[in-house]
Every structure is written in C-alpha cells, then in structure tokens.
Structure 1
Amino acid sequence: MSNSLMEWLKQFKIEDINLDLLNTAFTHRSIKGLRQSYKIEERDDDYERLEFLGDAVLDLVVSDKLYNRVPLSEGNLTVLRSRMVNEKTLGDLFDALKMKPFVRSALPKLSQKVKCDILESFFAVIYIEKGFRRCQEVWDLIMKKTKIEDTLLSSHLDTESIENDQLTPSQIEERKTLRRYYESIEIKTDQNARNVLEQLFAKVYGDPSMLPDFNDFEKTETVDGPRFIVRLNETIILLEKKYYLHTEGVARRYKLAQIRAAEKACDMIYLPYTKR
C-alpha cells in the first residue's frame, strides 16, 4: 500500500513523510482483533490520539483562513467555521479525496464521523511532520480542488443578505444583540439545532436538566413508511424578553423530526446551528 499511498500524497506536494505514522492515521480501532489478517503488528496504534490533535489543527487552519479572508463578525465567523469542519463537510472531503482505499478497518461501512476523524488524523500527521504552515498549504490545495470553501462561503453570505432583506431594522438589531449574547455564554453552534437549543436552555436556566421537551409527537404510517410529527411548546426568557417557541417538525425519523422542530425554534430566536 505504501507505493499507492505515496502516489496519492503527490497531489498535496508531499514526498517525504513518516509512513508508519500516516498508516496509524488511517487505522481504526476495530482492526485490533484482526491484526494477523491485516498484517498489523501488536505495537501499531489506531488514529484516536492523532484525531485529538488534528481536530485542533484543522480548527486553527480554518479559523486563520476565514479571519484573513472575510471581514465578518465573530458570530458569523464561528458559524462559517462550524460548517467547514463539521462531520458532514469533512466526511464529504474524505470521499472527494478518495481516502477509503488506505483505511484499515473492520467496520462494514465507514460512518461520517469515522471519515471525519481520519481526515483530522491526516492533518495531525502533516502538522507533526511538516508544521502548521504546511497544513495551511494542504488545506488550500484541497479547497482549490473541491471548491467546498467557496461554496459554503457564498451560501452563507447569500443567506445573510436574504435575511437582512427580509428583516426590519429593529429585527436586524435584535438578531445582532442575541447573537452577541449567545457568544458571551459560549453556545457551541457546530451542532444540530436540537443540541444547540438544549445548550441554551441549560445555560439560561443554570440547570442541565432544564431542557426543551420534544416528547409531544405522533406517528402515522404512510405508503412511503412512518411519518413523525414532533411539537415543541416552550417559552424562554432571553435578555428580559420572553419568546414563545411553538413549532412543529415533520420527518420520517423521530430524531430528525425533533431536529426539524428545533430548527424552527432556533430561527425564531436567531440562534445559529449547523444544518443536518
């Protein structure tokens, strides 16, 4: 595999790198029970420690790129970064870069999370071997190849422009005020709407058990399969103003219907989240 892996690395202008470390970045822990079949030595590790480092490296690479490329507010930069380094985007990059042939795994199928973890581990190896500047260069090459950065940036700016056209001046100011508030209480917006909304409730009420109730639902059977309707009926006080979050989410899966209901609630209070 080393020859094909080195050939694959040429697209990133990498010719000299620790292949043992790189193979670790492509090794999932599921392989540990099948070491003989895959000719993996007992001392060989999996990618989990590298993923921890790579996650931080990619966050910094993307943060630096966005900071220097677009004159947006902190809140907008945070939302953009979360869209670029979430599981879906990095998993799609994994597929676009055709990394699967180099993965050592006993899993029947690689999930988006595993793909994301492997890509982050790959960047950890580049950081260890070549330094941060080279990580930036490789990221730029990947963005030029896939156009994902341009697509996400264009989509985000178009959305902001459309929102501004549809909002009154007082609503635009309210959105700015609320988003500054969300930043001040450190709401992590790189998650789906339900998770983000749950964070907000827990922080506002100072109690991790004070979460929005998504248990009001109904299930019907259709010719296309089950259909779930989840109803959210909550109120929340933000900066001394009460907001009524009465929404409904519809989907073929219960959890997705919950997320859809949460998305509408987040939109009502200008709470950023990562679309799933």
Structure 2
Amino acid sequence: MAPTPASIPRAIFVEYAKRAVVAAGPEMARLSARGLSVNHTQGITLGIIVLYIAVIALLWNIPYVKYSLWPFKMLVIAFHEFGHAITACCTGGRVKSISLDPREGGVTHMVGGISAVTLPAGYLGSSLIGALLIFCGFDIVASKIASIALGVCFLLTLWWARKDWLTIITILMAVGLLVGCWFIKHAEPLKYVVLFIGVMSSLYSVWDICDDLILRKVNESDASVFAQRYGGSSQCWGVIWSIVSLVFMIGGIIAGLAAFPESASQQEDDSKKFIPTR
C-alpha cells in the first residue's frame, strides 16, 4: 500500500524541515568560510549527478536514442505546466485544463492570474522543483518525503488534466515508478530516481530554452510572450531564466551536502524506521 501524508510522523517532518532551513540560511555562510567537506557517500551522489548531466546531455539530441528520455521529458513538462497552473491559482486566476503533447509540448489553459508571474513560472517552477528533488536526493528518508510531495503535485495535475490521456498515463507511470522503489532495499533506489528527475527538471529550462530560442527559434514560447508584454528580447529572458535555473540547481546541491552528511548505512537504518516497507 502506498504511504500517505497522514502516516508520516510529525517529528520527522519537523526535523527535515529544520535541516533545510538551516542549510539554506546561516549554515551556507559558515560553509563558505570553512570550506565544504564531502564524505564518501556524498561524493558518490555528486558523481551520479555529474553522470546524469552527461547522459542527459548526450541523449537529449541523439537521433532515435533520444526517445529513451521521452517519458522523463513528458514528466518534466508536466512539472512545467504545474508551475504555470499553481502560480495562476496563487495570483487569483483559474486553471481550466492542462494537456501534454506527444511531440514534447504542453499547454495550460487558464483564466486570470498575473502573467508576469505565471509566464516564467513554467521554467522557473520546474527548475525549483528539480533543485528541491536534488536536495532530497542526497538522503533516502528525504527522498521518501519528496516522493509523497510529488504525489500531491501529481494529484493536482491529474485533476486539471483529467481529460488528457497522455498526461494521465505519464503521471500514473511516474507514480508507479516511485511507489515501486519504496519496496526495493528499504527504498534506496528511490533516492537515485528522485535525483535523476531532479537533475532532468533543473536543466530542462536550459536545454529547452536553447532548443526553442537558439536552435529552432520558436516564435511562441513563454519567453517570447513575456518579452512582448514586458519588454526585452525572448533570448534575453531565456538566458536570465536559464541562469536562475542553474543557480537553483547549485543551491540544491550545496544544501544537500550541508544537510545530509550521513553515510549510506546510516541512511538505510533511518529509512527502516521511517514508513518501513521491507
């Protein structure tokens, strides 16, 4: 049976929230002063992040082989559309529907909201989600919590996309993958799946902006619409959003190193105590 938010001990939520705040605040200043040490387990995680970046970069544009990334691309596009949708709701708008395109596109139909916020929220929202997933990917228990949070986001996206079968299938496959990882070796594989999705989502805006605005020069993109309404060029806004995405990613990595110094065996022991599945 899949875990539910209600079954999570409150003390553990508080502890991990506290770690995140500490890592993102005063701890960051102290790290820069004394230097950030990396233990063996963290070094492996960093190496996997570098490997993911290299593999994704290679597969992104290789003919035919690139289709191996297609399910994850669609998932990240779902994050992108979720960013548009959630900011529309937060700025007084209403979401009518979300749909994904098998040619690796997506659209969020919404009414109202503040376009200065909702337009960049697709790229920046997906990159922020990616940075948070990378942060959680440094620890097994944090990855469990991240998977539950993703489940909530997926439920919202399913509600908005309840008439779009591609979106529904993509999200259900992602949920199945996450739930399945809970039951393998005390959820250790979940850590690497969350990390992969995080890296993919963090860099999506960089690669997609490069595709749309530099290689293919797509006329209708979030950046081009933003430029038409608020000035500047689409390339300029694309570069700015890409830089912000990279900053989010680096911040997620540094915060993960600061917050999760536990060894692999310690993480496994902690995972056995947190909603054990095996």
TM-score, normalised relative to structure 1: 0.29
Structure of greater Rg: 1
Which structure is higher in strand share? 1
Which structure is higher in helix share? 2
